[in-house]
Each structure stands twice: as C-alpha cells, then as structure tokens.
Amino acid sequence: MFKILLFLFISVPLLEIYLLLKVGGYIGAMNTIALILLTAFIGTLLLRQQGLSTLARVQQTLDEGRLPAGALIEGLLLLVAGALLLTPGFFTDAIGFFCLVPPCRQWLAGHLLSRLLERQRTQARTREDPDIIEGEYWEEDERKKNNNNDYLP
C-alpha cells in the first residue's frame, strides 16, 4: 500500500505539471488559469447539488429503517471528488468529474462496497474456521511418563 501511495504522490503531480504546460502552450497561460478556475467553480456547484441529493437519499434510507451503506460510500466519493476538483490540474479534475457523474459514482460505490463486504466475509471465515480447535498442551519428558506422577514437578 505504501508503494502505491508513494507512486501516486510522485506521478500525479508530474502528470499535472506536464498537462498544465502542454495546455498552457496551446491556449496560453492566462486561459489555462481561467480554465482551471472555471472547472473548480463548476465542480463546486455540481458537488453541492450532488451532495445534497446524496444526503437526502441517506436520510430517506434511514427513515425506511435500512442501512445506507451505498449512499455513505457515495458521500465519501463526493468528498474525494471535491478535494480533487479544488486541486489545480486537469487530471485531478477529470477524476473529480468522473466521481460527480451519478452512474459512474454509483458503479464505483457498488464496486467498493462489494470489495469491502468480500474482505469482511473472508475475515469472518478465517476467524470461525471449524477445523481449528482451541486448547492448551504441554510436553512431558520420559522421566515423568515413567513415574506416573503426571502432576508433580
């Protein structure tokens, strides 16, 4: 996990710098800055709308007496999307907008939820393995076996 995070912390900023330089070379520095600000503004508006919608679904699910696991994961994805959209860059904006599109976010939330449930099932199976018998044991040396005094030191 550490290697993956290290790779992301190094590669994503490098990719962002590369994209900013390429786009800036085509449309100019001021237009690039304006485009970054525009994507942050649009993303913030969409995030607010989607966040309120997700919050309403969480409330409705709780009112029905069900666990809102999917909606909570979608809320977490919206939080990540907001952070990515406020980070200057085109790559992070693309990932943030991907998380804002409801079908994409619901697919990703379903995928994350199924992986989480599978991991939980796997851990439960290993804890409740019927082939494991808990107990204590000790080894006796030959002197004690011949003595018939099993409990003496």
pLDDT per position as a tens digit, 33-66: 999 999 989 988 888 888 888 888 888 888 888 8
Q: Looking at residue 67, what is its pLDDT? A: 83
Mean pLDDT to the nearest integer, 2-17: 92
Q: Is the pLDDT of residue 14 over 90?
A: yes
Model pLDDT for residues 113-131, shown as the tens digit of each residue: 888 888 888 776 666 656 6
Contacts of 152 (CB under 8 A, 6+ apart): 144
Amino acid at site 30:
M
Q: What is the pTM of this model?
A: 0.69
